């Protein structure tokens, strides 16, 4: 049992805090949030042993991110233990799975696998293991990266299989703690730490196995999910900006050129993003006109449902929530508009199809879900190098936005939500962000004090390699954080 140590520690936690059990109310399983851990995700690590310590410190996408995420998970469980159920996925699914090939084409997954296998010899010789055309500053691979990638696909499948179960015993919502992230991954081009597009792969799998016809991606990572948006263009029948278009189409299909458009592929996907327009991939050095236009696109036509909103600086939390109400929440309004229109159009198609005596195809019923690309690098606790352009969000944002996303899902798609870890690179950003995100998943109260720097400082102590629990914590916060750190550390 991968979670044996956690279960033992959790029992001890409850015995030390009986008031939590006393004050808890009964929560039906279907109303809980499933948290899926992915131990295999730690297998993706930086293998260039010859680099300097200074260079190594710039590699922010690291296995230790999952420990920081676990601290946030543990913090949420400590506050609302009846609201969550935990699962550890060691399932491996090949890069040649049909739902991966549908997104990345027939060649790209095989290319990644080949590079992973060949990396071992190259790294031994002190050679950079990725091809010359790749950005070796943010993309790296080792032989065991293959374990991580197949584990990511397996964890995503595990979550989808669970949240779509047609019973009252399974949660309708899931958060999957995986890495590497995916939203910068184009059909055939890796970018920004991302090798495969986890969100789109999840949607394809849900379409193939659960009959999903439509999905929404809500992306609140600091950086624009250019890969996720690019795949939406491809699914709408247009040529994507990056990668070989032929890789994404079935044999016998004609590839569209820049003046034509194919019929949209199903499932249909809307992409709605809140991000910093001055950060990668639209930062100085990357900010070509195409990238800036893409990160600013707002369109609800031509089978495209894409809406981008740029973060703005704020002074007080009150100022931030004025921006939230007047500017940021439009993402949720547009996602709602997309699903409302999509349902009507889809049901019209079904009615038209029923009038045909011998229809060529049966149209499945409308079925949608919400996917959150949950990056926490816009956190107020992210490293300054990530926040060099002066925009961030308060910790409470993750709870508020997630709660509103669940409200949208309750209205439009039976409450079905899948959240996938994207960015977030400091221990503070991940711990505080995941904590807030999971509280929002359950639409529970987020207390302002929980995001205070003194609280987060105590929680992230548990991320230290040599951390040891305090024997006699000097105050209530230290005592609580001490117990949370114990819970978090036994998850990884």
Q: Which residue reads 């050095």 in tokens?
A: 285
The CA-atom distances, in angstroms, between 104 and each of 47, 101, 132, 304 are 25, 5, 20, 19
- Entry field: residues in the chain: 492
Q: How far apart are the first and last CA of the chain?
A: 13
Tell me the two tokens of residue 293: 């236009």
The yes-or-no answer on residue 184 being catalytic is yes
Complete edge-to-edge strand list for the sheet that includes strand 33-37? 84-88, 33-37, 173-177, 417-421, 368-374, 214-219, 268-275, 304-310, 298-301
Question: Treating both helix axes as pointing N-terminal to C-terminal, what angle do 226-235 and 198-210 enclose, rounded to 10 degrees?
Answer: 40
Please tell me which residue in 44, 83, 184, 186 is annotated as part of the active site: 184
Q: Strand pairing partners for 85?
A: 34
Helices (H) and strands (E) in the chain, counts: 16, 9
**How far, in Å, are 72, 147, 169, 423 from residue 69 at the CA level?**
5, 20, 26, 11
Q: CA 42 to CA 64: how far, in whole Å? A: 8
At residue 441, φ and ψ (nearest 5 deg) are -55, -40
- Is the Cα torsion angle 78, 486, 153, 335 positive or negative in sign? positive
Helices (H), 324-377: 330-354
DSSP lists the bridge partners of residue 164 as none
59-to-63, 117, 223, 228 alpha-carbon distances in Å: 11, 22, 17, 23
Q: Residue 3, exposed/middle/buried by CB under 10 A (0-12, 13-18, 19+)? A: middle
HSE on the CB side for 271, CA within 13 Å? 30
Residues forming the active site: 184
């Amino acid at each position: 049992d991968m979670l044996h140590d956690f279960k033992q520690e959790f029992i001890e936690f409850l015995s030390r805090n009986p008031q939590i059990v006393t004050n808890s109310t009964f929560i039906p399983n279907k109303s809980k949030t499933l948290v899926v851990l992915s131990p295999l995700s730690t297998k993706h690590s930086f293998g260039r042993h010859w680099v300097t310590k200074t260079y190594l410190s710039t590699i922010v996408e690291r296995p230790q991110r999952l420990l920081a995420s676990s601290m946030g998970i543990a913090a949420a469980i400590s506050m609302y233990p009846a609201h969550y159920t935990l699962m550890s996925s060691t399932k491996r699914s090949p890069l040649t799975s049909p739902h991966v090939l549908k997104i990345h084409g027939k060649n790209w997954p095989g290319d990644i696998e080949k590079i992973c296998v060949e990396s071992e010899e190259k790294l031994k010789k002190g050679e950079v293991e990725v091809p010359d055309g790749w950005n070796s500053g943010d993309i790296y691979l080792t032989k065991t990266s293959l374990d991580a990638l197949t584990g990511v696909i397996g964890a995503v499948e595990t979550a989808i299989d669970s949240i779509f179960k047609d019973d009252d015993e399974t949660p309708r919502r899931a958060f999957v703690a995986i890495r590497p992230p995916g939203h910068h991954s184009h059909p055939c081009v890796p970018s920004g730490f991302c090798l495969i597009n986890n969100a789109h792969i999840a949607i394809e799998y849900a379409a193939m196995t659960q009959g999903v016809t439509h999905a929404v991606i809500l992306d609140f990572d600091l950086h624009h999910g250019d890969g996720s948006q690019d795949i939406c263009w491809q699914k709408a029948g247009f040529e994507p900006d990056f990668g070989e278009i032929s890789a994404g189409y079935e044999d016998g299909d004609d590839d569209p050129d820049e003046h034509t458009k194919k019929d949209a592929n199903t499932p249909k996907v809307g992409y709605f993003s809140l991000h910093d327009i001055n950060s990668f991939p639209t930062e100085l050095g990357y900010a070509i006109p195409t990238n800036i236009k893409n990160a600013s696109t707002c369109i609800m036509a031509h089978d495209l449902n894409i809406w981008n909103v740029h973060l703005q600086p704020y002074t007080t939390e009150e100022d931030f929530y004025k921006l939230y109400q007047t500017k940021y929440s439009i993402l949720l309004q547009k996602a709602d508009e997309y699903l409302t229109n999509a349902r009507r159009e889809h049901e019209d198609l079904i009615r038209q199809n029923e009038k045909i005596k011998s229809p060529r195809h049966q149209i499945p019923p409308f079925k949608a879900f919400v996917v959150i690309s949950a990056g926490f690098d816009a956190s107020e606790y992210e490293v300054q190098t990530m926040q060099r352009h002066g925009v961030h969000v308060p910790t409470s944002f993750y709870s508020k936005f997630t709660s509103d996303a669940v409200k949208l899902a309750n209205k439009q798609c039976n409450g079905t939500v899948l959240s996938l870890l994207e960015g977030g690179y400091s221990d503070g950003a991940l711990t505080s962000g995941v904590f807030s995100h999971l509280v929002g998943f359950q639409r529970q109260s987020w207390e302002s004090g929980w995001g205070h720097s003194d609280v987060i400082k105590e929680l992230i102590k548990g991320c230290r390699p040599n951390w040891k629990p305090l024997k006699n914590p000097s105050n209530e916060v230290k005592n609580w954080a001490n117990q949370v750190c114990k819970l978090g550390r036994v998850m990884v």
